[in-house]
Chains A and B, each alone.
Chain A
Amino acid sequence: MNDSTRPERQVAGLARVRDEELAGLESGAAARALLASIVAEPDRPARPAPIPAHRWPARPARRLVLAAAALVVMTVAVVAGPSLLPDRMGNATSYANSAIEIRQEGDWFVARIKDPLADRSRYVEAFRAVGKDVEIELVPVSPRLVGVRIQAGGNGSGQVRASSELVSSGPTPVDCAVTPANCTLVIRISTDTTGTVRYRVGRAALPGEPTQDPVVSSGVPALPGGGGDGGTGN
């Protein structure tokens, strides 16, 4: 007998979540609140607890229940959606982290890049939470290419309707081609998109940062909406 034939290998696939996916949650707000509520309890029980396990109190203390409720909010994001699927796509309708904010607006998920310098895994995480396989890479470019989609792709499978554009960050519309610094990159992806989306989009370069402008070999620079992904145009 070896590992690969052990029948419990089949059982492993049923795991709703793997420990690795939960790593780091202990430092989250909910876990810290629970910790605080536990250590706030009296040091010793009124009478020594008997060893047999089944004598333990059947109901958690009320305070623990409240702390546990916060844990639920945290864990529900982990197990939400078709959690038994290997890629564990979520089915949230909105998601936000410090890097990106995604909201469902009608038939579209509208993602606003809040931090163009964030690690791109933060964007991936957000799209995954709403069940979409999207990778956005923001590369430093010359000012004229900020917000321009330099490259678009995917694995070619499934249906894809997506677009990217710069929109005014503030309430007053500005010409984003002129003042991209006052604009936010917005990615739209239809709720019925089943395929993968890979966008490389230009962002403003930091002072002294080398730009990665695309090499224009055909004489036609890549322009917004130029990605061959069946996009809705910009």
Chain B
Amino acid sequence: MDDERTARFEAIYAATFSRILGFALRRCDGPEDAADVVAETFAIAWRRMDAVPPGDQARLWLYGVARNVLANHRRQVARRHDLSAALAAEVAHLYQPSAEESAELGTVGEVLRGLPDDDREILSLVAWEGLEHGEIAKVLGCSRNAVRIRLHRARRRLARELATAGVQTGWLAMSGRGTR
């Protein structure tokens, strides 16, 4: 029984490790945080193996767990932030994109950071993990229809903010929405 459980966990780990690591790396400020999220996510999966769905659904389930671990992590970070802000400012340059990156991607990054958390989350799941509506619904624990509506609104806000920042996506015109 235990062997079976271990074997199943190992199979899930092997199949999803790079996905979960990628998920964490794309969302964390540093590799240390990302590694913590990965470790905790799989530890939870191990403790709750009975709840892990079969097949590729396991990946979506793990995304959902990773998302919650990340949210916890961010809350902690936010609590610590006041104390560590001064230190962070001193070392910030060590973990910042170069000048040319900033020029190239800084605008989009800034726009994304300026969006509501929910928008940023759903857009990232589409853009970074390449998930479909139904898959996102499983990760977020909501209905497919809710995903569709949330995504549409998030896209609209993103396109509008990008347009304001001078980045054209062509989406506004095609979706029949005017600029503000």
Known: A16-B26, A79-B31. A71 touches B9 (CB 8 A): no
Q: Mark A65-102, 1 if CB is under 8 A from B, else 0.
A: 10111011001101100111100000000000000000
Shortest beta-carbon distance from B40 to chain A in Å = 4
Q: How far is the CB of A146 from chain B (nearest CB, A)?
A: 40
Which residues of B in the span 96-127 have a Cβ within 8 Å of any Cβ on A?
Answer: 97-98, 100-101, 104-105, 108-109, 112, 123-124, 126-127
Are A82 and B98 in contact, with the CB atoms below 8 A? Answer: yes
Which one, B5, B159, B162, contacts A43 given CB within 8 A?
B5
CA distance A68 to B20 in the complex (A): 13
Measured between beta carbons, the chain B residues less than 8 angstroms from A84 are 97, 101, 104-105
Contact-size category for A: 35 or more
For chain A, what secondary structure do more than half of its interface residues adopt (helix, strand, loop), or is it mixed?
A: helix
Interface centre among B17, B26, B65, by most A CB within 10 Å? B17
B21: shortest Cβ distance to chain A, in Å? 5
Q: Counting CB contacts under 8 A, is B19 at the interface?
A: yes
Indicate which residue in A6, A49, A68 contacts B36 across the interface (CB closer than 8 Å): A68
Instruction: Please list the residues of chain A having a beta carbon within 8 angstroms of any beta carbon in chain B.
Output: 1, 4-19, 21-27, 31, 34-35, 38-39, 41, 43-45, 49, 51, 53-54, 56-58, 60-61, 64-65, 67-69, 71-72, 75-76, 78-79, 82-85
Given contact pairs A5-B169, A10-B169, A49-B44, a sample of 11 additional A-B residue pairs in the complex whose CB atoms are under 8 Å apart: A1-B171, A6-B126, A8-B126, A14-B108, A16-B25, A19-B18, A34-B39, A34-B42, A38-B46, A68-B38, A75-B34
